[in-house]
Amino acid sequence: MRFLSKLAMLAILTAAVPAAFAQGGGTSTIAVEQPWARATPAGAMTGAVYMTLANKTKDADRLTAASSTVASKVQIHEMAVVKGIMKMRQLVNGLAIPAGGSVTLKPGGYHVMLIGLKKQLIAGQTLPLTLTFAKAGNVSITVPIQAIGATHAGKGGMGMGGMQGKKSGGGMDSMEMK
């Protein structure tokens, strides 16, 4: 019964958060701020989406999954330098968002990976993305697509070309898992 009462409490908390906090997710307790995706070259099979996730509650939450109609598969990835080489891996347990804190997904770090792109991502257009949180549930957002060279972090270098290179060096499926 403890689980049920927790659920009820969550429902109350959720209802108390103004809808304006979340783009497109009227009942979410996670704010998705400044989402953007990087445009892709013709024929690219992967893309990346970045954003800041702000947790407005006193409970830690977790981004556990994502989906989009423009990709056959969407994963939560981390990019890190391992022995001088930039590598990315899937965060199979999701991405933690601390209570009252925020996590920024940006080039060279965390990102939402679009795998098996069904269409080219063109700058100036948008793509739909649904994020699934352990507690906040589903949040659907519209993600603006920015030019290939765009970077909000102020440091370029990790373009889609690099990701494509990774792909040819073994493929996404053989990527090292956590």
Q: Which is nearer to Cu ion, 26 or 162 (CB)?
A: 162
Angle CA(61)–CA(66)–CA(67) in degrees, nearest 5?
Answer: 155
Q: Which is nearer to Cu ion, 146 or 164 (CB)?
A: 164
Please state the closest distance from residue 74 (CB atom) to Cu ion, in A: 10
Please state the closest distance from residue 98 (CB atom) to Cu ion, in A: 22
70 contacts 56 by C-beta, under 8 angstroms: no
* Amino acid (1-letter code) at residue 58: K
Please state the closest distance from residue 88 (CB atom) to Cu ion, in A: 4
Give me the residue label for tokens 């890190």: 80
Q: Which is nearer to Cu ion, 31 or 88 (CB)?
A: 88
101 contacts 31 by C-beta, under 8 angstroms: no
Please state the closest distance from residue 111 (CB atom) to Cu ion, in A: 6
| Cβ-based neighbour number of residue 28 at 10 Å | 25
| Cβ-based neighbour number of residue 75 at 10 Å | 20
Q: Which is nearer to Cu ion, 54 or 113 (CB)?
A: 113
The site for Cu ion (CB under 5 A) is made up of 77, 88, 113
- Closest-by-Cβ residue to Cu ion is 77
